[in-house]
């Protein structure tokens, strides 16, 4: 991770603005009373000042780099109190400020490992880039003519996904003769999206770039929960469905049933392991087989007891509300599964969820 140093003038301005905001919130605008309360060690005032300071720092960091999508504050908790939805209720505490940036780059979630020391964490969004918070739907390109969007130049590797989808759809909507000029750009965008959303294995990309459409990729993007790629099983199914839909005879298509699918991003599993103190199990594969079999019940128990970040729980709850009382199958998969040379058949379990209980019972299941 790179080190960012604040100019003394910038740091002083941030502190002054945080003091002003805290004073307006707590003491009718009196900075003097705010300073006195801080010197007296009044914890609630310290927390309020920290919240405003964190917001200042988060906005400054986000403004430094256009690839930053959001800034989160992390609060370690040794004995967390949880709400009915499983989210941690403890507010930001006085002390050090721990921030992490969510960026549009490869393996962005790996940065979480630099901050996590405790078993539990509370994640608090403190700054979100406006275009990242509410990206325009892929079917509705940003303002401006379609031609301006098509001709816009940017680095596809660093661009936000909303912009990639918008430009790709604008190219696809061009008349056939005009579209030929932009086919290389469309192909580049498609490969970048496949690598971000599905797989960076060349054998898969070589086939998928010729079959998957931008609409296929947009559906995966819209139905993905959490950052990272989808699993290999889902990747293989998406590609197989597209090939069948384009090549199968009518009698096969008439009997083709495609399950409605949603995806947990692979980086979220990494974050989950960090948040719940489970990273030490990564060395399990290097142990003797007898030890692995002995450890398995404990591993299973600790993963079942783990909790997702609050913002992910909200997305899962919203998905369950959308699904209603329809039964669900929860399928686990690694990125390597169903890839070239690695079937891994029978290595993962699928779980049937009747989805007939209360909203909280269904979420817990």
Domain boundaries along the sequence of the chain: 8-130, 146-253, 263-364
pLDDT in tens, 211-239: 999 999 999 999 999 888 998 888 988 99
CA-CA distance, 240 to 92, in Å (whole number)?
A: 47
CA-CA distance, 190 to 218, in Å (whole number)?
A: 10
CA-CA distance, 184 to 313, in Å (whole number)?
A: 40
According to DSSP H, which parts of the chain are helical? 8-26, 31-39, 43-64, 130-133, 146-151, 161-172, 176-179, 183-197, 202-211, 214-222, 232-247, 250-253, 266-275, 289-305, 310-323, 359-364
311 token code pair: 């913002």
Confidence grade of residue 119 (pLDDT, cut at 50, 70, 90):
very low
- The packing angle between helices 232-247 and 214-222, to 10°, is 140
Q: Is the pLDDT of residue 105 over 60?
A: no
CA-CA distance, 334 to 338, in Å (whole number)?
A: 9
Which residue from 238, 112, 126, 215 is spatially nearest to 229, judged by alpha carbons?
238
φ, ψ of residue 40 to 5 degrees: the values are: -80, -5
User: What size, in residues, is the chain?
Assistant: 365
pLDDT number for residue 214: 94
pLDDT in tens, 14-70: 888 888 888 888 888 888 888 888 888 887 777 778 777 778 777 777 766 666 767
Pick the residue with more confidence: 170 or 87?
Answer: 170
Mean predicted confidence (pLDDT) in 243-267: 90
CA-CA distance, 321 to 299, in Å (whole number)?
A: 30
pLDDT number for residue 132: 46
pLDDT number for residue 231: 87
Most confident by average pLDDT, 124-133, 226-235, 296-305: 296-305
CA-CA distance, 88 to 124, in Å (whole number)?
A: 10
pLDDT number for residue 75: 62
Confidence grade of residue 82 (pLDDT, cut at 50, 70, 90):
very low
pLDDT number for residue 192: 94
Pick the residue with more confidence: 233 or 77?
Answer: 233
3-state secondary structure of 121: strand
Mean predicted confidence (pLDDT) in 120-147: 54
């Amino acid at each position: 991770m790179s080190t960012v140093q604040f100019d003394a003038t910038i740091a002083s301005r941030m502190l002054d603005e945080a003091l002003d905001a805290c004073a307006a919130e707590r003491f009718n605008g009196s900075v003097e009373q705010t300073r006195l309360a801080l010197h007296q060690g009044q914890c609630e005032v310290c927390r309020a000042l920290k919240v405003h300071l964190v917001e200042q720092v988060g906005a400054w960091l986000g403004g430094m780099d256009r690839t930053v999508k959001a800034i989160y504050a992390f609060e370690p908790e040794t004995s967390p109190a949880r709400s009915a939805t499983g989210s941690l209720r403890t507010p930001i505490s006085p002390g050090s400020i721990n921030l992490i940036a969510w960026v549009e780059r490869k393996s962005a979630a790996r940065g979480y490992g630099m901050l996590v020391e405790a078993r539990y964490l509370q994640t608090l969004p403190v700054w979100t880039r406006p275009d990242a918070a509410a990206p325009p739907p892929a079917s509705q390109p940003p303002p401006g003519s379609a031609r301006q969007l098509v001709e816009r130049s940017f680095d596809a590797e660093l661009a936000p996904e909303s912009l990639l989808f918008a430009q790709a759809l604008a190219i696809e909507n061009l008349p056939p003769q005009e579209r030929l000029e932009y086919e290389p750009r469309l192909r580049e965008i498609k490969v970048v999206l496949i690598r971000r959303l599905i797989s960076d294995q060349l054998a898969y990309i070589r086939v998928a770039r010729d079959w998957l459409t931008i609409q296929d990729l947009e559906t995966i993007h819209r139905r993905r929960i959490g950052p990272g790629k989808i699993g290999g099983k889902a990747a293989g199914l998406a590609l197989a469905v597209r090939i069948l839909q384009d090549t199968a005879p009518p009698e096969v298509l008439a009997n083709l049933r495609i399950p409605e699918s949603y995806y947990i991003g692979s980086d979220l599993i990494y974050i989950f392991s960090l948040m719940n103190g489970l990273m030490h199990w990564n060395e399990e594969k290097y142990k003797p087989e007898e030890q692995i079999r002995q450890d398995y019940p404990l591993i299973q128990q600790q993963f079942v007891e783990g909790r997702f970040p609050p913002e992910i729980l909200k997305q899962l709850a919203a998905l369950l509300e959308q699904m209603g009382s329809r039964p669900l199958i929860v399928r686990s998969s690694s990125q390597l599964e169903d890839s070239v040379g690695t079937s891994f058949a029978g290595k993962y379990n699928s779980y049937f969820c009747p989805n007939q209980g209360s909203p909280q019972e269904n979420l817990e299941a």
